[in-house]
Chain A
Amino acid sequence: MAQPVLEIKHLKLHFFTDKGVVRAVDGLDLTVQKGEIVGLVGESGCGKSVTSLAIMGLVPKPPGKIVDGSIIFAGQDLTKLNNKQMRQLRGKEIAMIFQEPMTSLNPLFTIGNQLIEAIRTHEKISKKAARERALDILKKVGIAREGVLDEYPHQLSGGMRQRVMIAMAMVLRPRLLIADEPTTALDVTIQAQILDLMKSLNEEFGTSVLLITHDLGVVAEMCDRIIVMYEGQVAEEADQRRLFKNPAHPYTQGLLKSIPKLDEQKKRLYAIPGQVPSPFNLPAGCRFAPRCEFAMEICRKEEPEIVKVDEKHFSRCFLNQKEAIDHGAHERS
Chain B
Amino acid sequence: MPSLPEMNENSSVTSIDYAPSIHESPVRYFLRAFWRHRSAAIGSVIIILFILLAVFAPVITPYQYDQRSSALLASPSASHWFGTDDMGRDIFTRVIYGARISLQVGFFAIAGSIVIGSFLGLIAGYYGRWRDTIISRIFDILLAFPSILLAIAIVAILGPGLNNAMIAVAVINIPAFGRLMRSRVLSVKEEDFILAARAMGMKNSRILWKHILPNYWSPILVQGTLGFATAVIEAAALGFLGLGAQPPQPEWGTMLSDSREFIQLAPWTMIFPGLAIVCTVLGFNLLGDGLRDLFDPRMKE
Which residues from chain A sit less than 8 Å from chain B, CB to CB? 56, 58, 87-92, 95-96, 98, 100, 103-109, 117-118, 121-122, 139-145, 147, 151, 155, 159-160, 165, 168, 193, 196-197, 200-201, 204
Tell me how many residues of B have a C-beta within 8 Å of chain A: 33
For the complex, give the distance between the alpha carbons of A105 and B214 in Å: 14
What 9 additional pairs, Cβ within 8 angstroms, besides A95-B199, A145-B5?
A56-B199, A91-B201, A92-B201, A100-B192, A109-B214, A140-B8, A144-B16, A168-B200, A204-B11
Tell me whether B24 is interfacial, beta carbon within 8 Å: no
Q: With A and B bound together, what is the CA distance between A90 and B203 in angstroms?
A: 11
A193 touches B13 (CB 8 A): yes
Contact yes or no, A88 B199, CB < 8 A = no
Which residue from chain B places its CB closest to the CB of A147 in the assembled complex? Answer: B20
Is B18 positioned at the interface, with any CB of A under 8 Å from its CB?
A: yes
Please determine whether A143 and B200 come into contact, CB atoms closer than 8 angstroms: no
- Of the candidates A92, A106, A142, which one forms a contact with B197 in the assembled complex, judged by CB atoms under 8 Å apart? A106
**B16 in complex: contacting residue of A56, A58, A143, CB < 8 Å:** A143
Residue of A nearest to B212 (CB): A106
- Mask, B168-206, CB within 8 Å of A = 1, is 000000000000000000000001110111111111001
A160-B16 contact in complex given A87-B201, A121-B200, C-beta closer than 8 Å: yes
Question: A200 to B13, Cβ gap below 8 A?
Answer: yes
A139 to B179, CA, bound (A): 44
Cα distance A204–B12 in the bound complex, in angstroms = 11
CA distance A159 to B16 in the complex (A): 10
Q: Is the CB of B196 within 8 A of A104?
A: yes
At the interface, yes or no: B6 with Cβ under 8 Å from chain A?
Answer: yes
User: Known: A90-B201, A122-B201, A155-B21. Is A197-B13 also a contact (CB below 8 A)?
Assistant: yes
Is B15 on the interface with A (CB-CB < 8 A)? yes
A87, A104, A106, A143 — most chain B CB neighbours (10 Å): A106
From B203, which residue of chain A is reached at the shortest CB distance? A87
A selection of 27 A-B contacts at a CB cut-off of 8 Å is A58-B198, A90-B200, A91-B199, A91-B201, A91-B202, A95-B199, A96-B196, A98-B195, A98-B196, A104-B192, A106-B193, A106-B211, A108-B214, A109-B214, A117-B202, A121-B201, A139-B15, A142-B11, A142-B13, A144-B3, A144-B15, A144-B17, A145-B5, A145-B18, A159-B16, A193-B13, A197-B13
B6 and A139 contacting across the interface, CB-CB below 8 Å: yes
Give Cα distance in the complex from A312 to B215, angstroms.
Answer: 50
CA distance A145 to B15 in the complex (A): 9
Which residue on chain A has the smallest CB distance to residue B188?
A: A106
What is the bound-complex CA distance between A118 and B11, given in angstroms?
Answer: 23
B298 proximal to A (CB < 8 A):
no
Q: How far is the CB of B26 from chain A (nearest CB, A)?
A: 9
Residues of B near A145 (CB, < 8 A) are 3, 5, 17-18, 20
Given A90-B201, A92-B201, A144-B5, residue A103 in contact with residue B192 (CB < 8 A):
yes
Give the 9 A-B CB pairs with smallest separation, nearest first.
A91-B201, A90-B201, A91-B200, A103-B192, A144-B5, A200-B11, A142-B13, A96-B199, A104-B196
Mark B residues whose CB is within 8 Å of A.
Answer: 3, 5-6, 8, 10-18, 20-21, 23, 191-193, 195-203, 206, 210-211, 214-215
Report chain A residues within 8 Å CB of B6: 139, 144
When chains A and B are docked, how far (Å) is the Cα of A109 from the Cα of B21?
A: 17
Q: Please name all residues of chain B whose beta carbon is closer than 8 Å to the beta carbon of A155 when the two chains form the complex.
A: 21, 23
How many angstroms between the C-alpha atoms of A103 and B194 in the bound complex? 9
Chain B, Cβ-Cβ closest to A165? B196
For B210, the chain A residues whose CB sits under 8 A away are 117
Whether the pair B203, A200 counts as a contact (CB closer than 8 A) is no
Do B10 and A204 touch across chains, with their CB atoms under 8 A apart? yes
Chain B residue numbers with a CB within 8 Å of A92 are: 201
Query: Within the assembled complex, what's the spacing in Å between the Cα atoms of A109 and B213?
Result: 13
> Do the beta carbons of A90 and B13 come within 8 Å of each other?
no
| CA–CA, A121 and B21, complex, Å | 30
Known: A90-B199, A91-B201, A106-B193. Contact between A141 and B21, CB under 8 A?
no
Complex Cα distance A105/B211, Å? Answer: 10
Pick the contact of A90 from B14, B193, B198 — CB < 8 Å? B198
Cβ contact of B12, chosen from A103, A122, A196, cutoff 8 A: A196
Give every chain A residue within 8 A of B191 (Cβ-Cβ).
103
Min CB distance B18 to A, Å, is 7
Residues of A within 8 A of B199 (CB): 56, 58, 90-91, 95-96, 98
Taking the closest CB of chain B, its distance from the CB of A51, in whole angstroms, is 14
Is the beta-carbon distance between B198 and A193 smaller than 8 angstroms?
Answer: no
- Chain B residues lying within 8 Å of A91, measured Cβ to Cβ, are 199-202
Partner of A143, one of B15, B21, B192, B197: B15
- The CA of A87 and the CA of B198, in the complex, are separated in Å by 8
Contacts of A89 in B (CB 8 A): 201
B197 and A193 contacting across the interface, CB-CB below 8 Å: no
Q: Is the CB of B215 within 8 A of A108?
A: yes
CA A139 to CA B7, docked complex, whole Å:
8
Which of B14, B195, B196 touches A142 (beta carbons < 8 Å)? B14
A196 touches B13 (CB 8 A): yes
Q: Verify A142–B15 contact, CB threshold 8 A.
A: yes
Q: Which residues of A contact B14 (CB under 8 A)?
A: 142, 193
